[in-house]
Amino acid sequence: MARSSVIVTGAASGIGRACVHLFTERGCDVVAVDNDRSRLEDLARAPRADGLAGPGELVTLVGDVSRQETGTAMVRAALERFGRLDVAVLNAGIGGTLPWEDEGAIARLDEILAVNVRGVAIGIRSSVPALRAAGGGAIVVTASSAGLAADPGNWAYNASKGAVINLVRAAALDLAAADIRVNAIAPGLTETPLMARHRDIPGLVEASSRRVPLQRWGLAREQAAAIWFLASADAAYITGAVLPADGGLTAM
């Protein structure tokens, strides 16, 4: 994997940011894509400043993954800067379901599906020609334990993550002949900015941790390590798989 060329979406925060650190630390060149310009600029400065980055190079690209022009631009950036594409980590995702009766609920569903499903479909189809040209490669999608077992009060997000899991399986079947492996991780509760508003509710972290067999939330770098494994040659015979990284939550 050293010196591989890797795209990471949703790269400015949480799990995506941990992937940028891990992959560059281990010598990969990374195109980091996010729609949050200021956090992306912070990422571009931070790796050098906090000593986390390794020998890999980092290029940043501001864009919305639900738009085809972002898919096209991120692959072009990898090819222009690094000459090839080996791995696409399609991680950008949003949550925040509204109550069923809320007037804006369906508009919110459309927004969530646009990022969590359409954005992944765009990421896959945009990457395929470059991965084919490289003789094969790996796509890793960040799904969720909420796509394996629904959690209450979260219907739009549950629907989007259930859909993306079957999208991953379908893509794996269609792309196997080109030696393009397509897999997903399904994180459980993970300490990232996405979860900050939950963390602030008194007692919630403790109560939710008690439901997890490993008795704690996961860390962004633990999710990045699972993504690294699926992207690496160690997973050469794995495609169409969904790897729960949830402390045992969905084993119950």
Say which of 82, 155, 157, 228 is annotated catalytic: 157
Nearest to 91 by CA among 10, 185, 172, 183: 10
Nearest to 208 by CA among 190, 192, 223, 221: 190
- Do 103 and 48 meet the contact criterion of CB atoms below 8 Å apart? no
Alpha carbons 132 and 157: distance in angstroms, whole number: 32
Active site residue 157: yes
Taking CB under 6 A as the rule, does residue 189 contact ligand NAD?
yes
Least distance (Å) from ligand NAD to the CB of residue 174? 22
Least distance (Å) from ligand NAD to the CB of residue 237? 25
Among positions 28, 74, 89, 115, the unique one binding ligand NAD when judged by CB under 6 A: 115
Copy the structure tokens of residue 249.
């939550």
Least distance (Å) from ligand NAD to the CB of residue 135? 28
Taking CB under 6 A as the rule, does residue 36 contact ligand NAD?
yes
Alpha carbons 130 and 76: distance in angstroms, whole number: 9
Copy the structure tokens of residue 199.
């963390």
Copy the structure tokens of residue 62.
């501001």
Taking CB under 6 A as the rule, does residue 216 contact ligand NAD?
no
Question: Given CA atoms 31, 34, 36, 37 in this order, what sign does their dihedral have?
Answer: positive
Taking CB under 6 A as the rule, does residue 64 contact ligand NAD?
yes
# of chain residues touching ligand NAD (CB under 6 A):
30
Least distance (Å) from ligand NAD to the CB of residue 221? 11
Q: From 24-32, 59-67, 124-132, 226-234, give the range in contact with ligand NAD by CB under 6 A.
A: 59-67
Copy the structure tokens of residue 48.
């050098």
**Which residues make beta-bridge pairs with 219?**
191
Copy the structure tokens of residue 217.
């939330």
Residues 191-210 that bind ligand NAD (CB under 6 A): 192-195
**Which residues make beta-bridge pairs with 34?**
62
Cβ closest to ligand NAD, residue 109 vs residue 176:
109
Least distance (Å) from ligand NAD to the CB of residue 232? 19
Catalytically active residues, by annotation: 157
Where on the chain is the footprint of ligand NAD (CB under 6 A)? 9-10, 12-16, 34-36, 39, 64-66, 91-95, 115, 119, 142, 144, 187, 189-190, 192-195
